[in-house]
Structure 1
Amino acid sequence: MIKRITTLMLLCSFFGLTSTVWSQSLAVKSDLLSNAFFSPNVSFEQSLGGRFSVDVSLHYNPFGSKESLKRWKHWLVQPELRLWACHPFSGHFLGIHLLAGEYNIADTDLPAGLYKGTKSWRYEGSVMGAGLSYGYQWILSPRWGLEATFGLGYVRASYDRYRCAHCGEKLSSGHKNYLGPTKAAVSVVYMLW
């Protein structure tokens, strides 16, 4: 029993001492813009020391609409290396990001004319890309913040096109190249350490 208490006290002391070292080094975030467009998401950002941090955004939407044939299923991973103007989690930053994911879209209009036939056909495929971004983070309290970021880059999307939202007859395959916005977010930030 004494050994367990001693171990517990040592662990608590360790985490108490290192919490000052780790302060402002790990954050969890959620993008309000993506949530508004039914793309549930979470991001984790870790300070790397100095003026650098790494941010990893995860988007996942496994849901379709039961009322119609509408479908916008997808998953997306977007890691980003950030260089902060002064120190991580406060003020201006520049980033370089990658992205990869898969999608299944039908009976839905997409912005920027990405796939013009998504109201008539179903598109299923994968995306890969990279880009540069700029952002700013406001400190609201010791634990809470607000972040805005915007990025431009290149995406290559491979696809299979199907006749309808639920049938399996494949009409064609191909790819699209896209140059333009690859990231836009207004995120609520919560500092874990």
Structure 2
Amino acid sequence: MKYTITYGSSQEVGLIGKGRFTEKKPFLITMFGRGVKHIVTCFVAIMLCLNIARAQEEDFKVMLNFKVNSYELDTAYGRNAEELKKFDHFVQTLKNDTLTRITRIELSGAASPEGSFIKNQRLAHRRILCLEKLIRSKVSINDTIICYNDSLIHWNKLKAMVDYSFPEQYKDTLQSVILSRMDQLDNMYNDSIAMNVIKRMYKGKVYQVLVNHYLPDMRNACAVFLLLHKPQPKVVEGILQPTIVEVKPQPAETDTLIHNEVDSIPQSGVVMSTVESWQPKWYIKTNAVALAFAISNVAAELDVANHWSVTLPVYYSAWNYFSHKVKFRTLAIQPEVRYWFSEESDGLFAGAHLGLAYYNFATGGDYRTQDHSRETPAWGGGLSIGYRLPLSRNSRWKMEFSVGAGVYPAKYDKFINGHNGLLAYTDRKTYVGLDQLNISIAYTFDTFRKGGKR
């Protein structure tokens, strides 16, 4: 009997009598080969999943620029013509691709930091509305997939632009101001402070460079479309697939469909407004000052024209203040016409009003005062001035402050201030003085339903 073993080889060779060893691979090499195979298989599967996911989700972005203090779209301004052409191509592609749908639209607006915070907030919001109007004119969308972001001022974007290309002799000083502003983003009024500092730098040279080359890019509205691609159905070889003919119904006249190409938009530099300059709204309000005196009240206001609105408050009280000798019972109305110095019925306003009030009041003294025979209310009119500002990000909730004065001729009876007190005398007097003091909370409603196909 003899046998030979060769080390380092993948075979064992030997003879035992007339028998022969079978060839086999060593244990460690076999296990290593299987491990590599599993690792490669997992890696390939992960890459395929990533590719599939990447193929199913995409996004598309369009950004429009606006002139200073403007929210109207000028198709020839900046890169707007190029962006509109790109958006039109996207719409046509979306129309022809039945496997792709929009899952979310993120709309954001921005303004450059000149001017007050409230003015910049309005500009940013109106620029969003302008872009939304353009999108809805070309694509049928559901309100539920739209997300709004009034980002106002992109200080981080300004910092990046300054880092990239601002003149070196001014860069460090300007960056210190921008970084200081970014550290205090919670204080909205610091924008004007920062801009005043920048205006004084190097006798206004830094500010002029910003105005000419950097700030125009900050006045924009942007839309990001998130898209989902459905996978193409697989056809199994050897199985005859039936031919499916898709019959598309004719769209109703009221449906919002994909509209004409943007090439039909004039490119001659003519300013085209894609959002109405004035949209009427109406408001429901209550006066906190009257509520503090236990006088129930409600008011309705309606925008009737650009810069003009009418409001009608009603006040009612029919109870005493803890004692029959102290009371202020009234039924009063005070219709008012208001002129607003802004187009959106916000900010400063002036008004002219009429007033009519039935009254019965006593302050704890010897007499109670009441309108004569309960048939001669005080009536007159006056002027007012006030201010309204938004409370919520969507500008639905608002707070209003106003004060007014007027003239009211009155004929009234004086009664002994007691239970069933006797009439003492009747008198006439003309009241001249304060007749309106409002700290009101208001909620805004649209006068028509805005939105795409639901």
Taking structure 1 as the reference length, the TM-score comes to 0.78
Deviates more, 1:64-73 or 1:81-90: 64-73
> In angstroms, what is the RMSD of aligned CA positions?
2.2
1:35 aligns to what SS in structure 2?
helix
Aligned-partner Cα distance in 2 for 1:90–1:137: 5
Q: Residue 28 and residue 58 in structure 1: after superposition, are their counterparts in 2 closer, same or farther (change >3 A)?
A: same
Q: 2:368 aligns with which of 117, 122, 125?
A: 122
Identity of aligned residues (%): 29
Q: Tell me which structure has the larger Cα radius of gyration.
A: 2
Q: CA-to-partner distance for each residue in 1:129-187, whole Å, 9 max, x for gaps?
A: 21011111001222100000011221222211112333152111112212111111110
How many pairs are equivalent? 165
Which structure 2 residue ranges, 5 or more long, are not aligned?
1-254, 256-275, 372-376, 447-454
Contact preservation (8 Å) 1:71, 1:165: no
Q: Residue 24 and residue 48 in structure 1: after superposition, are their counterparts in 2 closer, same or farther (change >3 A)?
A: closer
Trace 1:28-177 onto structure 2 (pairs within 5 A): 28-65=284-321, 67-106=323-362, 108=363, 119-125=365-371, 126-141=377-392, 142-177=395-430
- Which letter does structure 2 place at the counterpart of 1:176? K
Contact preservation (8 Å) 2:352, 2:384: yes
Shift of 1:23: 5.8
Q: Which residue of 2 aligns with 1:178?
A: 431
- Which letter does structure 1 place at the counterpart of 2:293? F
Q: Which residue of 2 aligns with 1:27?
A: 283
Contact preservation (8 Å) 1:52, 1:84: yes
Shift of 1:68: 4.2
2:420 aligns to what SS in structure 1?
coil
Q: Which residue of 1 aligns with 2:74?
A: none
Aligned-partner Cα distance in 2 for 1:55–1:33: 17
Which structure 1 residue ranges, 5 or more long, are not aligned?
1-12, 14-19, 109-117
Contact preservation (8 Å) 1:70, 1:165: no
The structure with the greater share of residues assigned to helix is 2
1:86 aligns to what SS in structure 2?
coil
Aligned-partner Cα distance in 1 for 2:296–2:324: 21
Q: Residue 67 and residue 162 in structure 1: after superposition, are their counterparts in 2 closer, same or farther (change >3 A)?
A: closer
Shift of 1:24: 5.2
Aligned-partner Cα distance in 2 for 1:119–1:168: 13
Q: Which residue of 2 aligns with 1:189?
A: 442
1:34 aligns to what SS in structure 2?
helix
